[in-house]
């Protein structure tokens, strides 16, 4: 009997090891190369001029296009100034494309190609979050170029992508290029406040029956050190984003004077509910796009980790639990998260609250729903005194294709621009305007084609946001490759590696 068990164990170990050994970096040829061919190196590539692009980006950064949920605080003269600035910066692009304004200040550019079917849509937003100036090395709206970088709010999020997309179109248009398919540039003006700009653009496109073939927005980027044991950088391409939902928990009581408090008042009931949420987080899971990410990055991990990642049929629950337990970004990738953000009670120190409330900001994991999350919270709170009210429910986005010619084209353009990086899909944790497009196109990708250091990632929405001039050049190269190779060539059947 013991021999039988030992034999089975040995066979299992051999199987695990064999799978781990076969789980290795993909061959360089294959569908990715096919998708990019034959336009992998558009002739304009040699004419990319990063310092000039930096000067144009600096001009954009000098416009204080700060959005706000309180529209009375928005200075629309800055928006008008930004819109008026662009034709002078990109004359050939503006001769080649038509431009219209949607939803107030959002911009939709249309570059007619040889065919109008399945156009390419390049997205960005030009609104930025506020910046006061304290703590900045250079004033946030000065557009200063110093120490090899362009400084300012929006330099990374995300006037950089808007700039590089226009730089690429300018180069191509100036050399007389006519794209194979129509190209749209979709530039929102209120992404940071989840506004109506991009939905207004979509309404225009829908009216004209435009069905995009591939959509690219901000989201991932080329990053290092995000995955244990993988020394190569990763080009993380967002294929989905979590849903954002605000849920209000509240409880009522008669109120009255604080000198005669009731037993188990409303505040205590609410506090207990918050604690129950904290103690019983959502169960961990590894949604399909996260598995796809592990399937790419894991190939470059040391053998011990490959042993686990190549055998997810066995280790998947264990890995999900380990990821979730590690917290931070890794943890957030593996479950629906809840964060209590706004607490409110009575107005005075000696007044019992008639109503207490807490807002729970939820990030709904791929594969789950608002309704399911709500039902679980109701079960966990388990208190009829607590009322639950959904404010701003937002479902997770659909998941874009992680294989096929369109995926290979985006991943291929990223790989051609950053040959040392491993391209992999991932789930974006933040929200982007791309979610609006995801409802009508199954090929929406979130990738800002820049190498982001940890400090650069931390500077978005914080102080000292700046982009190195050399990185802008790489961004332009990426857009040139993507536009020149669009539409992707279908890979020959059976060539899959």
186 vs 311, which CB is nearer to Zn ion?
186
Q: Shortest Cβ distance from residue 191 to Zn ion (Å)?
A: 6
Catalytic residue among 167, 170, 191, 464: 191
129 vs 314, which CB is nearer to Zn ion?
129
Task: Name residue 352's beta-bridge partners.
Answer: 256
Query: Residue 313: phi, psi to the nearest 5?
Result: -55, -25
Q: Are 406 and 463 in contact (CB under 8 A)?
A: no
Collapsing DSSP to helix, strand or coil, 481 comes out as helix
Answer yes or no: 127 catalytic: yes
Residue 179 token pair: 């794209």
Distance in Å from the first CA to the final CA of the chain: 42
Q: Are 113 and 179 in contact (CB under 8 A)?
A: yes
| Choices 86-94, 156-164, 207-215, 407-415; region in contact with Zn ion by CB under 5 A | 156-164
Q: Are 60 and 467 in contact (CB under 8 A)?
A: no
| Contacts of Zn ion in 221-250 (CB under 5 A) | none
41 vs 68, which CB is nearer to Zn ion?
68
Q: Shortest Cβ distance from residue 129 to Zn ion (Å)?
A: 9
C-alpha–C-alpha distance, residues 372 and 245, integer Å: 12
122 vs 297, which CB is nearer to Zn ion?
122
241 vs 451, which CB is nearer to Zn ion?
241
Q: Shortest Cβ distance from residue 157 to Zn ion (Å)?
A: 4
Answer yes or no: 75 catalytic: no
Residue 218 token pair: 């901000």
DSSP 378-409: HHHH--TT-EEEEES--PPPPPPPSSSHHHHH
* Other beta carbons within 10 Å of 431: 17
C-alpha–C-alpha distance, residues 351 and 265, integer Å: 12
| Contacts of Zn ion in 377-396 (CB under 5 A) | none
323 vs 479, which CB is nearer to Zn ion?
479
Residue 428, CA distances (Å) to 61, 287, 434 in order? 26, 12, 11
Q: Shortest Cβ distance from residue 430 to Zn ion (Å)?
A: 8
Q: Shortest Cβ distance from residue 189 to Zn ion (Å)?
A: 12
Q: Shortest Cβ distance from residue 401 to Zn ion (Å)?
A: 23
C-alpha–C-alpha distance, residues 203 and 440, integer Å: 11
158 vs 402, which CB is nearer to Zn ion?
158
454-464: b (≥16 Cβ within 10 Å) or e: eebeebbeeeb
Catalytic residue among 127, 192, 218, 465: 127
Q: Are 431 and 244 in contact (CB under 8 A)?
A: yes
Q: How many residues bind Zn ion (CB under 5 A)?
A: 2
157 vs 451, which CB is nearer to Zn ion?
157
Site string for Zn ion, 38-77 (x = CB under 5 A): ----------------------------------------
Q: Shortest Cβ distance from residue 158 to Zn ion (Å)?
A: 4
H/E element, 149:
strand 149-151
Site string for Zn ion, 116-155 (x = CB under 5 A): ----------------------------------------
C-alpha–C-alpha distance, residues 42 and 197, integer Å: 33
Our finding on whether 158 is near Zn ion (CB under 5 A) is yes
- The DSSP call for residue 72 is G
131 vs 352, which CB is nearer to Zn ion?
131
Residue nearest to Zn ion (CB): 157
Q: Shortest Cβ distance from residue 53 to Zn ion (Å)?
A: 19
Collapsing DSSP to helix, strand or coil, 73 comes out as helix
Residue 143, CA distances (Å) to 138, 146, 293, 321 in order? 9, 10, 36, 45
Q: Residues 94, 120, 144, 157: which binds Zn ion (CB under 5 A)?
A: 157
Q: Find, among 292, 95, 85, 75, the residue nearest to 174 by Cα.
A: 95
Residue pointed to by tokens 């209120």: 190
Q: Shortest Cβ distance from residue 238 to Zn ion (Å)?
A: 12
Cis amide prior to 284 (ω within 30 degrees):
no
Which ranges in 1-75 belong to alpha helices (H)?
A: 2-22, 31-36, 50-61
| Choices 80-88, 157-165, 298-306, 486-494; region in contact with Zn ion by CB under 5 A | 157-165
Catalytic residues: 127, 191
Site for Zn ion, rule CB under 5 A: 157-158
């Amino acid at each position: 009997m013991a021999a039988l068990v030992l034999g089975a164990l040995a066979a299992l170990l051999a199987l695990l090891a064999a799978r781990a050994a076969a789980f290795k970096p993909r061959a360089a040829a294959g569908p990715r190369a096919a998708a990019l061919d034959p336009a992998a190196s558009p002739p304009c590539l040699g004419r990319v001029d990063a310092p000039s692009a930096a000067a144009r980006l600096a001009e954009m950064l000098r416009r204080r296009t700060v959005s706000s949920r309180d529209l009375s605080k928005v200075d629309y003269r800055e928006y008008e100034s930004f819109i008026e600035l662009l034709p002078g910066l990109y004359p050939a692009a503006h001769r080649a494309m038509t431009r219209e304004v949607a939803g107030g200040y959002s911009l939709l550019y249309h570059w007619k190609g040889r065919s109008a079917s399945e156009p390419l849509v390049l997205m960005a937003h030009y609104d930025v979050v506020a910046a006061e100036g304290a703590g900045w090395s250079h004033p946030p709206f000065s557009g200063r170029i110093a120490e090899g970088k362009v400084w300012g709010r929006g330099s990374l999020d995300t006037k950089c992508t808007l700039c590089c997309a226009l730089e690429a179109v300018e180069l191509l248009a100036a050399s007389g290029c006519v794209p194979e398919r129509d190209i749209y540039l979709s530039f929102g003006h209120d992404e940071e406040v989840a506004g109506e700009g991009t939905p207004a653009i979509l309404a225009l496109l829908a009216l004209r029956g435009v069905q995009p073939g591939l959509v690219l927005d901000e989201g991932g980027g080329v990053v290092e050190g995000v995955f244990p044991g993988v020394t190569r950088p990763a080009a993380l391409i967002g294929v989905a984003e979590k849903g954002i939902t605000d849920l209000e928990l509240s409880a009522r009581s008669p109120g009255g004077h604080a000198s005669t408090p009731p037993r188990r008042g409303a505040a205590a009931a609410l506090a207990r509910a918050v604690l129950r949420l904290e103690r019983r987080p959502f169960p961990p899971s590894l949604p399909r796009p996260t598995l796809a990410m592990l399937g790419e990055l894991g190939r470059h991990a040391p053998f011990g980790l490959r042993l686990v990642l190549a055998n997810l049929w066995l280790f998947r629950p264990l890995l999900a639990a380990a990821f979730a337990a590690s917290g931070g970004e890794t943890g957030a990738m593996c479950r629906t998260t809840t964060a209590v953000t706004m607490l409110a009670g009575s107005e005075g120190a000696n007044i019992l609250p008639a109503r207490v409330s807490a807002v729970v900001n939820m990030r709904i994991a791929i594969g789950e729903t608002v309704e399911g999350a709500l039902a679980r919270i109701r079960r966990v709170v388990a208190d009829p005194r607590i009322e639950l009210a959904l404010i701003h429910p937002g479902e997770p986005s659909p998941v874009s294709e992680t294989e096929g010619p369109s995926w290979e084209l985006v991943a291929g353009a990223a790989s051609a621009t950053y040959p040392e990086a491993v391209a992999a899909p991932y789930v974006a944790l933040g929200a982007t305007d791309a979610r609006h497009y995801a409802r009508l196109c199954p090929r929406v990708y979130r990738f800002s084609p820049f190498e982001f250091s940890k400090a650069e990632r931390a500077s978005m929405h914080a102080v000292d946001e700046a982009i190195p001039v050399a990185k802008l050049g790489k961004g332009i190269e990426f857009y040139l490759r993507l536009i020149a190779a669009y539409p992707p060539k279908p890979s020959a059947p059976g060539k899959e590696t």
